[in-house]
């Protein structure tokens, strides 16, 4: 049960990763430093928070903070890289009832609009696809710069059942909550000054 709950969280994390990249500025030379970035998701199993993360994700980013409306972000997450720190749970999350990794090895996000909110804050809208289901998603992102590194952070919630994560008996939200909180911190290089 804990393993399956973690699978649900993994899907949420994938969605978060997509949103984070979508909100980050990037041009032709912009790159994600995945090794220093993180995608964390938290869901509740029988009322107890369970945290997981994705270990493998990548992005194609073309974004100028001074012209956010022209920006584009696409994000890919390896769903099989979901980790809860428990080999048993990690083995469950990849099964068809949860992430269905054999049939759906990747989750994707494609931005459709990026809007500046002021003060280094942006709103990234787009389509998130997990396990063959696509939903519209809007994610708030905050950018901060230090030297040549831009850090994009944010958090959002998604509903696991909209992506068929936790099917059959696991669709019961009294066991595994429908809401999944996703938090991200992405480090980019090559982003123009804010």
Query: What's residue 28's pLDDT?
Result: 53
Confidence class for position 80, pLDDT limits 50, 70, 90: very high
What does the pLDDT look like over 153-174, one tens digit per residue? 999 899 999 999 999 999 999 9
Mean pLDDT of 119-132: 96
pLDDT at 10 over 90: no
Query: Which option is the CATH number for 2-189: 3.20.20.70, 3.90.230.10, 3.40.50.800, 2.40.128.110?
Result: 2.40.128.110
Share of the chain above pLDDT 70, in %: 85
> Domain extents for the chain?
2-189
The Cα-based distances of 52 to 6, 61, 64, 107 in angstroms read 6, 25, 31, 16
12-42: pLDDT as tens digits: 443 444 444 444 433 456 999 999 999 999 9
Model confidence at 61, pLDDT cuts 50, 70, 90, reads confident
- 111 vs 7, which has greater pLDDT? 111
Inter-residue contact 139 to 152 (CB < 8 Å): no
7 touches 95 (CB < 8 A): yes
In this structure, of 27-36, 70-79, 130-139, the range with the lowest mean pLDDT score is 27-36
- Higher pLDDT pick, 8 / 174: 174
DSSP string, 30-64: -EE-GGG-EEEEEEEETTEEEEEEES-EEEEEE--
Is there a contact between 92 and 4 (Cβ–Cβ < 8 Å)?
yes
pLDDT score of 59? 83
Q: What is the pLDDT of residues 44-56, one digit of tens each?
A: 999 999 999 999 9
Pairing of strands 57-62, 82-83: unpaired
């Amino acid at each position: 049960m804990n393993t399956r709950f973690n699978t649900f969280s993994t899907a949420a994390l994938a969605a978060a990763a997509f949103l984070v990249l979508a909100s980050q500025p990037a041009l032709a030379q912009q790159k994600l430093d995945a090794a220093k970035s993180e995608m964390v998701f938290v869901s509740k199993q029988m009322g107890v928070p369970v945290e997981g993360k994705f270990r493998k994700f990548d992005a194609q980013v073309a974004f100028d903070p001074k012209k956010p409306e022209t920006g584009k972000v696409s994000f890919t997450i390896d769903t099989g890289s979901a980790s809860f720190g428990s080999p048993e749970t990690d083995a469950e999350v990849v099964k068809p009832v949860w992430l269905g990794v054999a049939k759906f090895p990747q989750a994707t996000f494609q931005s459709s609009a990026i809007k500046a909110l002021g003060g280094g804050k942006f709103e990234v809208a787009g389509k998130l696809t997990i396990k063959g289901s696509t939903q519209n998603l809007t994610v708030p992102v905050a950018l901060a710069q230090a030297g040549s590194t831009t850090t994009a952070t944010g958090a959002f919630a998604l509903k696991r059942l909209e992506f068929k994560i936790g099917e059959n008996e696991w669709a019961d939200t009294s066991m595994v909550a429908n809401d999944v909180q996703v938090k991200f911190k992405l480090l980019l290089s090559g982003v123009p000054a804010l």
